[in-house]
Structure 1
Amino acid sequence: MTETAESAASAASAASAARTAGGHASATGATIELDNLTKRYPGSRDPAVDSVHMEIKAGELVVFVGPSGCGKSTTLKMINRLIEPTGGRIRIGGEDVTDMDPVKLRRKVGYAIQSSGLFPHMTVAQNIALVPRMTGWSKSRIRSRVEEMLDLVGLDPGEFHGRYPRQLSGGQQQRVGVARALAADPPVLLMDEPFGAVDPITRDHLQDELIRLQHELHKTIVFVTHDFDEAIKLGDRIAVLRERSHIAQFDTPEAILTNPADDFVSGFVGAGAALKRLNLTRVRNVEITDFPTVTVDDPLQEIFNKLRGSGTNEILLLDKRGRPYKWLRRGDLMRAKGSLARAGTLVHDTVTRDATLRDALEAVLIDNTGRVAVTGRRGEFIGVVDMETLMNSVHEMLEADRLEAMEHQHELEEARAQQTHFEQEGDGGEKKA
């Protein structure tokens, strides 16, 4: 299927869903059951997807990860019948949808793809409004829905309403694509490598946004990626797939990291499993502390006085929207000579509450300040997480792993001792006989 066709399918899927949802109260997630799902292409000896059995719980975010060509995207697209299965059954919310009219099926399913799928000749508002407009909503209702969806994905409606996709960054396009996919409030959202075409920092922030949205909306999300670190960060459960979508392991990220099923899964986990576990803990789970701040509108003398009275050697300069802008030190202010234009060090990276501890650790190392600024959904400053907090969390995690390993070893030794005891008793009984 071409990218244009996928874009149209994505919009059509959302439009169909809007006819059902009608823009009313938010729908909850629905279970997805794949029973012996198979896809064979004419002329191919082996199936592309071979007898997949899987149950995905309502409100769960499940990630398909596997090598290129293993069938993960094909399996995803069979769920909403963008690719028609040649065998097996699909159930959504307990309803068998395998033989349902595909348009009716897509009333239950949202769809987001890597290139965002936005129509380039439409503005941001028109792209999001496409769904409600096709279903006959009033202009005032459409306008309200567009603003609601832009706000949901962290974009200022006043700023982005009239822009065209070409005027957006890759990350902003992806946010709008997700907003359109969710505009119809489907219980199921399929995402086919949606963040694969953006830079690493933008991808981290988009991942954080998806985690935040899932906390608010509780959709059932099936997400395809080739990046195992992304799978660990996002997934409630991960399906590691072999060729033809054979399931090597389907479990929680923690279980896969600590107990991979075989060498194939171990290959995906790779080296540094302990470090990867930092992806299992969020910034919101550790202490976020306050930090002295000033704004670009504050007089220079007032900034200097606040820094001198703060008890620290550094202060955070916020822009006019309250977003982290620069780290200022005493020496910077001494050299400022009445202007902050060239003073201080730019804030290179920030994290949200939904970022992982690994994201935070990388940001601390990049900024080289010993801390990272934590921001809200619109980039506003909330507080900081420092290196000491992160290292304490790492040590606690490693200690917990050590104790768990000791307990496991103790259980193994007890089991061996018990087995030896039973064998000795058996030998004694035979000798008496």
Structure 2
Amino acid sequence: MPETGGHGASIELESLTKRYPGSAQPAVDNVSMEIKAGEVVVLVGPSGCGKSTTLKMINRLIEPTGGRIRMGGEDVTDIDPVGLRRKVGYAIQSAGLFPHMTVAQNIALVPRMIGWPKARIRARTEELLDLVGLDPGEFHGRYPRQLSGGQQQRVGVARALAADPPVLLMDEPFGAVDPITRDHLQDELIRLQHELHKTIVFVTHDFDEAIKIGDRIAVLRDRSHIAQFDTPEAILTNPADDFVSGFVGAGAALKRLNLTRVRDVEITDYPTVMIDDPLQQIFNRLRVGGTNEVLLLDRRGRPYKWLRRGDLMRARGSLARAGTLVHDTVTRDATLRDALEAVLTDNAGRVAVTGRRGEYTGVVDMETLLNSVHDMLEADRLDALEHQHELEELRAAQTHAEQEGGGGVTGVGGLGGTR
């Protein structure tokens, strides 16, 4: 097993198989897959297709019946499975935290088992809480029952990362939280991966989630047979067959909004005021700001309220009664789809963009998002025209060869399926 710490390790599955006694068919049948070091690979497929079984065989929570597993080039199929699990992070749905342990004790579980000194464990616990966006002083001594679902999942990810493993396995980790929290947790995972460069294998049944977080996606059929293993963009634009097309579903062009991040488009500045600013200063900002509205920030610099001209007058100069609360924000790692949903939900044509601690960094507006959608649709149209042109050239070449008596063009085959 490669040393823990630093970047991820490659994973190779070779003819991996799982048969359960009494079953006519294997649960997982002869799966081979190569995952690059530092890559996020998502296994997606219908319920019962064997994706979770495949994942659990990687750290041997389920023992393979046949085949090999290599990490960092080393065969781990026959080594001590308990030792292997301590070197592979594992995060599951509903976090799986021990209810009788505090947050800090849950995170420290594996480092304590492998004999880290107390000072190192304490420092690592605080580092990880900060990394997943939870204040160490506030959450260190809490119990799982005192946390929201999203906070529990953050602690679950921190626990999986505690011993700094090169590989992180995630089995539908965000499946039990509400959609808004789920979006934020996905963004947090993307941000963490930018910093940590782990090898992540992620199981989900949600294709939109797979598009959002995966460097590559393995679409699995029954018994984990691989229908297509490719980048999200390749699967969206060129699904291998009808089974994969069914997973992509309608609106492939709009699903491509999940491939573009907020950081990839123009983030504009916006007039802001602080909650402790004098009222006259806020009035002046509204009057000379060149806009009908300012964004009120709280004492930590986080978006709090949108203030329009007249709000303060109607509320008789009281910030407590003035303006409209900011209901949703997006991070730079959010997708354009997240941003578009936030803009449409807020119904005001813009959404505030925040940093890792929720601090204001800018605004994305509807015009920017619509321009991005237009560019994607135009790109799809041009790709379709180019594909049609290639088919016409192939058909013309085949017709010419037949007329010359050549008997067809070698390798063209069924043109209707060429993509």
Q: What TM-score, normalized by structure 1, do the two folds share?
A: 0.91
Given that 2:43 and 2:202 are in contact with CA atoms closer than 8 Å, whether structure 1 keeps it comes out as yes
Write the distance in 2 (CA, Å) between the matches of 1:126 and 1:382: 34
The aligned residue for residue 13 of structure 1 is none
The aligned residue for residue 8 of structure 2 is 29
1:29-428 mapped onto 2 (5 Å cutoff):
29-426=8-405
Give ranges in structure 1 of 5+ residues lacking alignment: 1-15, 429-433
Amino acid in the other structure paired with 2:372: S
Write the distance in 2 (CA, Å) between the matches of 1:242 and 1:138: 46
Write the distance in 2 (CA, Å) between the matches of 1:294 and 1:122: 42
Write the distance in 2 (CA, Å) between the matches of 1:137 and 1:245: 38
Shift of the alpha carbon at 1:226? 0.6
Write the distance in 1 (CA, Å) between the matches of 2:41 and 2:113: 31
The aligned residue for residue 413 of structure 2 is none
Shift of the alpha carbon at 1:142? 2.3
Amino acid in the other structure paired with 1:81: R
Given that 2:16 and 2:30 are in contact with CA atoms closer than 8 Å, whether structure 1 keeps it comes out as yes
Higher mean C-alpha deviation, range 374-383 or range 397-406: 397-406
Given that 2:97 and 2:152 are in contact with CA atoms closer than 8 Å, whether structure 1 keeps it comes out as yes
- With over 3 angstroms needed to count, the CA separation of the structure-2 counterparts of 1:394 and 1:190, relative to structure 1, is same
Write the distance in 2 (CA, Å) between the matches of 1:132 and 1:63: 27
| Percent identical | 87
- With over 3 angstroms needed to count, the CA separation of the structure-2 counterparts of 1:204 and 1:427, relative to structure 1, is closer
Deviation per CA, 1:104-125, whole angstroms, max 9, x where unpaired? 2224311000011211122212
Amino acid in the other structure paired with 2:160: A
Write the distance in 2 (CA, Å) between the matches of 1:42 and 1:394: 51
Deviation per CA, 1:398-428, whole angstroms, max 9, x where unpaired? 1111111111111111121122222212279
Write the distance in 2 (CA, Å) between the matches of 1:225 and 1:417: 44
Shift of the alpha carbon at 1:130? 2.6
Give ranges in structure 2 of 5+ residues lacking alignment: 408-419
Shift of the alpha carbon at 1:46? 0.9
Deviation per CA, 1:286-315, whole angstroms, max 9, x where unpaired? 011111111221222211111111010011
Write the distance in 1 (CA, Å) between the matches of 2:52 and 2:113: 28
Write the distance in 1 (CA, Å) between the matches of 2:114 and 2:390: 61
Deviation per CA, 1:111-169, whole angstroms, max 9, x where unpaired? 00001121112221222123333344333322221111111111111221222111111
Secondary structure of 1:426's match? coil
Amino acid in the other structure paired with 2:193: Q
Write the distance in 1 (CA, Å) between the matches of 2:166 and 2:382: 41
Q: Is the helix fraction higher in 1 or 2?
A: 1
Write the distance in 2 (CA, Å) between the matches of 1:393 and 1:123: 45
The aligned residue for residue 431 of structure 1 is none
Deviation per CA, 1:304-343, whole angstroms, max 9, x where unpaired? 1111110100111111111111111112111121321122
Q: What TM-score, normalized by structure 2, do the two folds share?
A: 0.94
Amino acid in the other structure paired with 2:303: P
Write the distance in 1 (CA, Å) between the matches of 2:341 and 2:143: 33
Deviation per CA, 1:371-415, whole angstroms, max 9, x where unpaired? 111001111110000001111111111111111111111111112
Alignment size in residue pairs: 407
